[in-house]
């Protein structure tokens, strides 16, 4: 399934979309027996999704080219249609608020680099290069589109997905000397309105592609961390309709003891009274926002919703006021958290529990998963015919 949000396209990570045969002939039983086998299935589906995505993107770009738009927002197109194979069945854990030891020793939780002083020093770029080296967008050259005038960018977005979409993603800033009435940042980038929740219907070349391949787009309730309504088209993975709330609850039940032991260790070390959120993570950023942005309102987000920040510990009263002292505090906390995670076995137990509940979920929907793969292959065949004209 492809989704369409009113804000910048969000790459909805398909944590696992499994559908493949493990060697059986047509008509015979198809089974997936273990995690390694399921990972092979996941990546087969990823390859199919990538093939279908390439056809969708090709049709949209051809449509734009025909209208004279030969310079594209490559980041926008990458975000919507990028599909990559997975190195592991689960790549993002609730326990990922814990940094790697080598990162903790130099960067702490990586929060100080986003302070005004830390960012001005260039630490933010260096940190992002270290922790985000595998993000494909970092290697993408979008300079040609960035150099376009504000009006040209707005026209491209309107042709790409409709006037309503172009308006909903926010204003643009103009380069020096140009009209800045549209608002926006000072670098020509899109400004996102955080209050927007409902997606606009796709239009422009995006709608032409949808009409050609799927007939129509369907409004559906958003899942996961997205909020409101999104528009979907194409084969819909059964994983997107899974009961993720139940999965999360199963995980939290499985980690009650290691979470409790970890928090007891943290409290005993003098690092404050913390509480895990519904997803099994800690509000690390909210805690350090109190330090690096003391005049800002504390915001804690769970599942896309702002919740009561009462569970965020306050910084110590004797915390130094300079960045070096605050950075030392952050590094000390990060290393103490890692020590507690190791001595209590929290990280190992939490990751094992999260893998298991996801594996149990994926293995319980064999028939739906195999049907999804058939749908992908049929959609690819149809898309290739449309592309050929």
- The DSSP secondary structure of 29-95, one letter per residue, reads -----SHHHHHHHHHHHHHHHHHHHHHHHHHHHHHHHHTT--S--HHHHHHHH-----SSS----GG
Percentage of the residues of the chain whose pLDDT score is greater than 70: 77
Is the confidence at residue 189, as pLDDT, over 70? no
- Beta carbons of 1 and 237 less than 8 angstroms apart: yes
Q: What crossing angle do the helices spanning 74-81 and 35-66 adopt, rounded to 10°? A: 140
Report pLDDT digits (tens) over 259-271: 999 999 999 999 9
More confident residue, 10 or 138: 138
**Extents of the domains making up the chain:** 2-73+145-238+365-388, 94-133+243-364
Report pLDDT digits (tens) over 370-379: 788 899 999 9
Mean pLDDT of all residues in the chain? Answer: 80
How many CA atoms lie within 13 Å of 103's alpha carbon, on the beta-carbon side?
20
First to last CA, the chain: 23
More confident residue, 29 or 324: 324
- Beta carbons of 104 and 338 less than 8 angstroms apart: yes
pLDDT, position 367: 75
Give the gyration radius of the chain's Cα atoms.
23
pLDDT, position 95: 93
| Average confidence (pLDDT) over 352-361 | 89
| Average confidence (pLDDT) over 361-382 | 85
Report pLDDT digits (tens) over 152-179: 999 999 999 999 999 877 543 333 343 4
pLDDT, position 14: 33
- Beta carbons of 312 and 286 less than 8 angstroms apart: yes
pLDDT, position 299: 60
- Beta carbons of 209 and 59 less than 8 angstroms apart: yes
Report pLDDT digits (tens) over 196-210: 446 788 999 999 999
Is the confidence at residue 67, as pLDDT, over 90? yes
pLDDT, position 197: 46
pLDDT, position 223: 60
pLDDT, position 303: 53
Among 75-84, 131-140, 269-278, which stretch is predicted with the lowest mean pLDDT?
Answer: 131-140
**78: confidence class by pLDDT, cuts 50, 70, 90:** confident
The residue with tokens 């140009």 is 178
More confident residue, 323 or 25: 323
**230: confidence class by pLDDT, cuts 50, 70, 90:** confident
Distances (CA, A) of 211 to 2, 172, 363: 13, 29, 34
More confident residue, 33 or 3: 33
Give dist(CA 383, CA 56) in Å, integer: 7
pLDDT, position 272: 93
Among 153-162, 179-188, 226-235, 318-327, which stretch is predicted with the lowest mean pLDDT?
Answer: 179-188
Is the confidence at residue 139, as pLDDT, over 60? yes
């Amino acid at each position: 399934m492809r989704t369409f949000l009113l804000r910048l396209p969000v790459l909805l990570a398909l944590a696992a979309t499994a559908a493949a045969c493990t060697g059986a002939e047509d008509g015979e039983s198809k089974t997936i027996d273990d995690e390694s086998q399921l990972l092979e299935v996941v990546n087969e589906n990823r390859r199919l999704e990538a093939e279908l995505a390439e056809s969708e993107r090709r049709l949209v770009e051809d449509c734009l080219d025909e209208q004279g738009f030969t310079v594209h927002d490559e980041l926008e197109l990458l975000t919507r249609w990028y599909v990559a194979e997975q190195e592991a069945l689960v790549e993002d854990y609730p326990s990922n608020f814990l940094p790697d030891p080598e990162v903790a020793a130099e960067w702490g939780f990586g929060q100080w680099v986003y302070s005004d002083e830390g960012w001005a020093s260039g630490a933010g770029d260096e940190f992002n290069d270290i922790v985000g080296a595998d993000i494909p967008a970092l290697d993408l050259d979008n300079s040609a589109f960035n150099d376009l005038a504000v009006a040209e960018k707005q026209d491209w977005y309107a042709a790409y997905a409709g006037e309503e979409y172009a308006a909903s993603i926010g204003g643009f800033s103009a380069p020096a000397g140009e009209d800045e009435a549209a608002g926006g940042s000072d670098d020509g980038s899109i400004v996102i309105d955080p209050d927007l929740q409902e997606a606009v219907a796709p239009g422009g070349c995006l709608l032409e592609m949808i009409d050609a391949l799927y007939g129509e787009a369907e409004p559906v309730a958003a899942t996961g961390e997205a909020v409101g309504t999104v528009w979907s088209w194409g084969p819909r993975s059964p994983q997107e309709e899974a009961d993720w709330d139940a999965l999360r609850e199963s995980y939290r039940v499985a980690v009650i003891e290691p979470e409790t032991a970890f928090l007891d260790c943290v409290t005993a070390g003098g690092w404050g009274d913390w509480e895990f959120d519904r997803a099994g993570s800690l509000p690390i950023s909210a805690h350090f926002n109190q330090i690096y942005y003391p005049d800002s309102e504390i915001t804690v987000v769970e599942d896309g919703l702002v919740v009561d920040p009462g569970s965020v510990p306050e910084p110590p009263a004797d915390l130094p006021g300079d960045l070096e002292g605050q950075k030392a505090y952050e590094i000390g906390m990060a290393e103490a958290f890692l020590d507690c995670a190791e001595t209590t076995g929290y990280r190992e137990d939490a990751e094992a529990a999260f893998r298991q509940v996801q594996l149990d979920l994926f293995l319980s929907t064999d028939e739906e998963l195999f049907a999804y793969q058939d749908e992908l292959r049929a959609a690819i065949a149809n898309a290739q015919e449309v592309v050929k004209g």
